[in-house]
Structure 1
Amino acid sequence: MLSQRTRYTIRALQHLARHYGEGPIHLTDIATAQNIPGKFLTVILSELSRAGLVATMRGRDGGYWLALPPVDIRYGDILRLTNGALALVPCASRYAHEHCKNCVPEEECELRRIMIKVRDETAAILDRLTLADRFDAGPDEAEPESALVSQ
């Protein structure tokens, strides 16, 4: 399950993607439009700035904008940045691997083999989708419609 922090991060980045190329957007505008507490959003945007996904400028005409084109920001990268790992169990994680407590040895664990497949499929989907993809269709339609992004 995605944490609230991850959901806020995605919504903030989606907002910035929709306004890509329009110049800096004030924090309060993002917070209001996305219903994100301002203090929490400040922390999130600061982390995104350090990660190189968001740029910022101080002052009256300042604000935040995407540091990269939306097509270059993948959902997989966002989740790895905020959640740390895509795997559902620690023993299936590629980057944050840990042995599971109270489990059988990894080479004997059938659940681990299944979870590695789930991790790989999830990663493939999330690494294919970018902030440039729009999901205006209903939830039953799997394919995103690529949006035209002004530059």
Structure 2
Amino acid sequence: MISQKAKYALRALLELAKTKPGEALLITEIAARQNIPKKFLEQILLDLKHQGLLHSKRGRGGGYSLLRAPNLISFGQVLRIIDGPMAPLPCLSRMAYRLCEDCTDEHACEIRRVFATAYEQTAKVLDSTTLADAITAGKLPIEP
């Protein structure tokens, strides 16, 4: 399950992705449009800025804007920035690998094998789905 912080980050980025290139949005605008607490959003946007996804400008015409095109920012990238490793088990993590405490042989572990398959498929979808993809998909009907 993703954190509320990650969900807010994605919603804010999607809002920014819908703006015209070069256009910036104020935190108050993003917070109001996406119903995100302003103080929490400030922290999230600062994290995303420090990770190279956003640009901020002060003064007239200021606010936040994407530093890269929406088709170059993936859901997986954002989730890793905000929530850290996505792996369901520490022995599957690329960023924070460690052997499970109760494991004697991870190569023979049936649990690891099943979760590895699920993790690989999930990571594949999240890493290949961009903000632009989500915006385009939002214009299509959702299949049951």
Q: Same fold (TM over 0.5)?
A: yes
> Which residue of structure 1 aligns with residue 102 of structure 2?
102
Q: In 2, are the aligned partners of 1:20 and 1:66 still within 8 Å (CA)?
A: no
Deviations 1:39-71 (A, max 9, x none): 111111111111110000012421000000101
Q: How many residues get paired? A: 141
Q: In 2, are the aligned partners of 1:79 and 1:86 still within 8 Å (CA)?
A: yes
Q: What code does the residue aligned with 2:116 have?
A: I
Q: What code does the residue aligned with 2:9 have?
A: T
Identical-residue share of aligned pairs (%): 41
Gaps of 5+ in 1: 142-151
> Which segment drifts farther, 57-66 or 3-12?
57-66
Q: In 2, are the aligned partners of 1:20 and 1:65 still within 8 Å (CA)?
A: no
Gaps of 5+ in 2: none
> Which residue of structure 2 aligns with residue 80 of structure 1?
80
By percentage of residues, which structure has more helix? 2
> Which residue of structure 1 aligns with residue 21 of structure 2?
21
Taking only aligned residues, the RMSD between alpha carbons, in angstroms, comes to 1.6
Q: Of 125, 129, 143, which aligns to 1:140?
A: 143
> TM-score under structure 2 normalisation?
0.90
- 1:138 deviates by 3.8
- 1:104 deviates by 4.2
Q: In 2, are the aligned partners of 1:20 and 1:69 still within 8 Å (CA)?
A: no
Q: What code does the residue aligned with 2:89 have?
A: V
> TM-score under structure 1 normalisation?
0.86
> Which segment drifts farther, 51-60 or 62-71?
51-60
Q: Give the ranges of 4+ consecutive aligned residues of structure 1 lying more than 6 Å apart after TM superposition.
A: none
Secondary structure at the counterpart of residue 64 of structure 1: strand
> Which segment drifts farther, 48-57 or 118-127?
118-127
Partner Cα distance (1:27, 1:33) in 2: 10
> Which residue of structure 2 aligns with residue 117 of structure 1?
117
